[in-house]
Structure 1
Amino acid sequence: MCLAMPAQVVSLDVQRETATVALGPVRKEISIALLEEVAIGDYVLVHVGFALHKLSPEEAERTLSMMREAGENPERELAEGDRP
Protein backbone atom coordinates (compact mmCIF):
# COMPACT_ATOMS: atom_id res chain seq x y z
CA MET A 1 0.00 0.00 0.00
CA CYS A 2 1.27 3.48 -0.76
CA LEU A 3 0.30 5.78 2.10
CA ALA A 4 1.52 9.19 3.19
CA MET A 5 3.43 8.85 6.48
CA PRO A 6 4.04 11.36 9.26
CA ALA A 7 7.76 11.63 10.09
CA GLN A 8 9.94 14.05 12.04
CA VAL A 9 12.58 16.21 10.36
CA VAL A 10 16.00 15.43 11.89
CA SER A 11 18.28 17.32 9.47
CA LEU A 12 18.02 19.80 6.61
CA ASP A 13 19.99 20.64 3.48
CA VAL A 14 18.45 23.96 2.46
CA GLN A 15 20.67 24.31 -0.64
CA ARG A 16 19.35 21.02 -2.07
CA GLU A 17 15.83 21.48 -0.63
CA THR A 18 16.05 18.12 1.12
CA ALA A 19 15.59 16.85 4.65
CA THR A 20 16.24 13.65 6.50
CA VAL A 21 13.17 12.44 8.35
CA ALA A 22 12.86 9.79 11.02
CA LEU A 23 10.12 7.40 12.02
CA GLY A 24 11.36 5.10 14.76
CA PRO A 25 14.66 3.62 13.56
CA VAL A 26 13.95 4.42 9.89
CA ARG A 27 15.71 7.42 8.32
CA LYS A 28 14.93 8.69 4.83
CA GLU A 29 16.04 11.62 2.69
CA ILE A 30 13.10 13.49 1.16
CA SER A 31 12.41 16.62 -0.86
CA ILE A 32 11.05 19.65 1.00
CA ALA A 33 10.65 21.71 -2.19
CA LEU A 34 6.84 21.72 -1.89
CA LEU A 35 6.79 23.36 1.56
CA GLU A 36 7.65 26.90 2.58
CA GLU A 37 9.38 26.80 5.95
CA VAL A 38 10.57 23.52 7.41
CA ALA A 39 12.65 23.26 10.58
CA ILE A 40 14.40 20.47 12.42
CA GLY A 41 11.86 18.94 14.79
CA ASP A 42 8.86 19.61 12.52
CA TYR A 43 6.57 16.74 11.59
CA VAL A 44 5.75 16.42 7.91
CA LEU A 45 3.50 14.15 5.87
CA VAL A 46 5.73 12.20 3.45
CA HIS A 47 4.52 10.63 0.20
CA VAL A 48 6.75 9.14 -2.52
CA GLY A 49 9.79 11.04 -1.28
CA PHE A 50 8.17 14.47 -0.86
CA ALA A 51 7.05 16.38 2.22
CA LEU A 52 3.50 17.43 1.40
CA HIS A 53 2.23 19.07 4.58
CA LYS A 54 3.38 20.04 8.08
CA LEU A 55 1.64 18.40 11.05
CA SER A 56 1.51 19.11 14.76
CA PRO A 57 3.23 16.47 16.92
CA GLU A 58 -0.20 15.48 18.27
CA GLU A 59 -1.67 15.05 14.79
CA ALA A 60 1.35 12.99 13.70
CA GLU A 61 1.04 10.67 16.72
CA ARG A 62 -2.73 10.31 16.26
CA THR A 63 -2.23 9.36 12.62
CA LEU A 64 0.51 6.84 13.43
CA SER A 65 -1.63 5.30 16.19
CA MET A 66 -4.60 4.90 13.86
CA MET A 67 -2.39 3.31 11.20
CA ARG A 68 -0.98 0.81 13.70
CA GLU A 69 -4.50 -0.01 14.97
CA ALA A 70 -5.49 -0.72 11.37
CA GLY A 71 -2.62 -3.21 11.08
CA GLU A 72 -0.26 -1.01 9.09
CA ASN A 73 3.48 -0.79 9.74
CA PRO A 74 4.32 2.93 9.29
CA GLU A 75 8.09 2.39 9.60
CA ARG A 76 8.07 -0.20 6.81
CA GLU A 77 5.80 1.99 4.68
CA LEU A 78 8.21 4.93 5.02
CA ALA A 79 11.23 2.76 4.21
CA GLU A 80 9.57 1.20 1.16
CA GLY A 81 7.17 3.99 0.19
CA ASP A 82 8.77 5.07 -3.07
CA ARG A 83 9.60 1.61 -4.39
CA PRO A 84 7.66 0.39 -7.43
Structure 2
Amino acid sequence: MCLSIPSKIKSINTEMNTCIVDTMGVERSASLDLIDQDVVVGDYVLIHIGFAMNKIDEEDALESLKVYKEIIDKMDELERKEAILEADKSY
Protein backbone atom coordinates (compact mmCIF):
# COMPACT_ATOMS: atom_id res chain seq x y z
CA MET A 1 0.00 0.00 0.00
CA CYS A 2 1.29 3.44 -0.85
CA LEU A 3 0.53 6.43 1.35
CA SER A 4 0.87 9.82 -0.23
CA ILE A 5 2.12 12.17 2.47
CA PRO A 6 1.94 15.90 1.76
CA SER A 7 5.36 17.22 0.79
CA LYS A 8 6.40 20.88 0.78
CA ILE A 9 8.31 22.18 -2.23
CA LYS A 10 11.66 23.60 -1.09
CA SER A 11 13.16 24.42 -4.51
CA ILE A 12 12.36 24.05 -8.20
CA ASN A 13 14.74 23.28 -11.06
CA THR A 14 12.90 24.61 -14.12
CA GLU A 15 15.55 23.30 -16.53
CA MET A 16 15.06 19.69 -15.38
CA ASN A 17 11.37 20.18 -14.40
CA THR A 18 12.05 18.74 -10.94
CA CYS A 19 11.72 19.95 -7.39
CA ILE A 20 13.14 19.18 -3.98
CA VAL A 21 10.42 18.41 -1.47
CA ASP A 22 10.41 18.02 2.30
CA THR A 23 8.32 15.08 3.49
CA MET A 24 8.16 15.18 7.28
CA GLY A 25 11.82 16.19 7.52
CA VAL A 26 13.13 14.02 4.69
CA GLU A 27 14.19 15.83 1.52
CA ARG A 28 14.07 14.15 -1.87
CA SER A 29 13.76 15.02 -5.53
CA ALA A 30 10.50 14.68 -7.44
CA SER A 31 9.60 15.14 -11.08
CA LEU A 32 7.08 17.80 -12.08
CA ASP A 33 6.39 16.13 -15.44
CA LEU A 34 2.96 14.76 -14.49
CA ILE A 35 1.48 17.63 -12.49
CA ASP A 36 -1.06 19.71 -14.38
CA GLN A 37 -1.06 22.65 -11.97
CA ASP A 38 1.37 25.52 -11.54
CA VAL A 39 3.47 25.08 -8.40
CA VAL A 40 5.86 27.40 -6.57
CA VAL A 41 8.25 27.05 -3.66
CA GLY A 42 6.18 26.63 -0.50
CA ASP A 43 3.32 24.70 -2.16
CA TYR A 44 2.34 21.27 -0.87
CA VAL A 45 2.13 18.38 -3.33
CA LEU A 46 1.38 14.68 -3.18
CA ILE A 47 4.16 12.45 -4.53
CA HIS A 48 3.73 9.00 -6.08
CA ILE A 49 6.71 6.95 -7.31
CA GLY A 50 8.86 10.06 -7.58
CA PHE A 51 6.34 12.26 -9.42
CA ALA A 52 4.40 15.19 -8.01
CA MET A 53 0.83 14.24 -8.90
CA ASN A 54 -1.21 17.15 -7.58
CA LYS A 55 -1.04 20.27 -5.46
CA ILE A 56 -3.04 20.40 -2.25
CA ASP A 57 -4.24 23.19 -0.03
CA GLU A 58 -1.84 24.13 2.78
CA GLU A 59 -4.53 23.80 5.46
CA ASP A 60 -5.40 20.27 4.27
CA ALA A 61 -1.71 19.37 4.04
CA LEU A 62 -1.00 20.52 7.59
CA GLU A 63 -4.03 18.63 8.93
CA SER A 64 -2.91 15.45 7.16
CA LEU A 65 0.63 15.85 8.52
CA LYS A 66 -0.78 16.25 12.02
CA VAL A 67 -2.67 12.94 11.67
CA TYR A 68 0.41 11.15 10.28
CA LYS A 69 2.48 12.42 13.24
CA GLU A 70 -0.15 11.10 15.66
CA ILE A 71 0.00 7.68 13.97
CA ILE A 72 3.81 7.64 14.07
CA ASP A 73 3.81 8.59 17.75
CA LYS A 74 1.69 5.51 18.49
CA MET A 75 3.97 3.13 16.59
CA ASP A 76 6.77 1.34 18.37
CA GLU A 77 10.35 1.63 17.09
CA LEU A 78 10.27 -1.63 15.10
CA GLU A 79 7.04 -0.65 13.35
CA ARG A 80 8.55 2.74 12.44
CA LYS A 81 11.65 1.13 10.91
CA GLU A 82 9.52 -1.33 8.93
CA ALA A 83 7.31 1.52 7.64
CA ILE A 84 10.36 3.51 6.52
CA LEU A 85 11.87 0.50 4.73
CA GLU A 86 8.56 -0.22 3.00
CA ALA A 87 8.23 3.43 1.92
CA ASP A 88 11.76 3.44 0.50
CA LYS A 89 10.90 0.45 -1.72
CA SER A 90 8.33 2.56 -3.59
CA TYR A 91 10.99 4.98 -4.91
Q: By the TM > 0.5 criterion, same fold?
A: yes
Task: Tell me the distance in 1 between the aligned counterparts of 2:4 and 2:42.
Answer: 18
Decide which moves more: 49-58 or 61-70.
Answer: 61-70
Q: Which residue of 2 aligns with 1:7?
A: 7
Q: How many residues align?
A: 80
User: Which structure has the highest helix share of the two?
Assistant: 2
* Structure 2, unpaired ranges of 5+: none
Q: Which residue of 2 aligns with 1:50?
A: 51
Matched, 1:82 2:90: yes
Q: Which has the higher contact order (CA 8 A, sep 6+)?
A: 1
Letter in 2 for 1:55: I
Q: Which residue of 1 aligns with 2:68?
A: 67
| Superposed displacement of residue 25, structure 1 | 2.4
Decide which moves more: 63-72 or 26-35.
Answer: 63-72
Letter in 2 for 1:41: G
* Structure 1, unpaired ranges of 5+: none
Q: Deviations over 1:11-39 (max 9, x none)?
A: 00111110000123210000111123110
SS at match of 1:15: coil
SS at match of 1:44: strand
When Rg is computed on C-alpha atoms for both structures, the one with the higher figure is 2
